[in-house]
Amino acid sequence: MNEKHLFISGGSRGIGRAIVLSQARKGLTVFLNYLRDDESAETVKSEAQKQGARVVLLPGNVGDPETIVSLFEEIKKHTDRLDYLIHNAALGVFKPVHQLRVKDWDISLDVNAKAFLFLSQAALPLMKTHGGKILTLSSLGANHFTPNYGAIGISKAALENLVRYLAVELSPYQIHVNAVSGGLIETDSIKMFPEFETMKKEFLARTPGKRLGTPQDIANIITFLLSPGSNWIYGQTIVADGGYSLS
């Protein structure tokens, strides 16, 4: 059987969990990174292993470049190749841009954008001989003003531009780099957003899909982008928002 190896950051809950369980199968090893929720990580590991996957838990803050080095040193103890890298971890504060502190700015850029750069660099030696797929998660706030979302939205804009640069630079190695941007996805984290109920009503009123997105909606797009069927896609941010951005 052709074994595959996948790394995902932020893989213990929400969209990350849905991605892991969508991919879990016999012959796949998942290197599952998470920050601190051991219980959720162990639960996802158990569920994925029931589907036949092998799961290695890798706790750590990917916003710290030194932690990324340590994570990949651990990965190299298990394999000398990586087929897929998915950067799903995200962090940020909800407040107006003009009220951001240095710490608020740094957290968002470090976890949402800088981590993707250093994860990709760490993955390259494990991918460049055979190719692979590198994916990340963005949001509509990268291109559209959203109240109290500036720190995250700006970091996601940097992330999307990084996707384009990496896509061109890594294409000679048959490594495809792309992103997925969802609309309002119903997760525990989005419910922490200020005035979530008001935003939800507005989203439902404008969205042809007439519902919030689910983690599985995003996982389905990820599944396509990890497949050979996406091999003609380079450096794109695929918008899967139920049609919200059309109006």
List residues with catalytic annotation.
149, 156
Q: Are 63 and 90 in contact (CB under 8 A)?
A: no
CA 98 to chain centre: 27
Number of helices (H) and strands (E) in the chain: give both, helices first.
Answer: 8, 7
Write the DSSP assignment of 52-83 as a string of letters: T-EEEEEE--TTSHHHHHHHHHHHTTT-S---
Residue 135: strand pairing partners: 86, 178
Write the DSSP assignment of 110-177 as a string of letters: IIIIIHHHHHHHHHHHHHTTT-EEEEEEEEGGGTS--TT-HHHHHHHHHHHHHHHHHHHHHGGGTEEE
- Which residue reads 């996802």 in tokens? 44
First to last CA, the chain: 47
CB burial of residue 89 (10 Å; 0-12, 13-18, 19+): buried
State how far the Cα of 182 lies from the Cα of 198, in Å rounded to an integer: 18
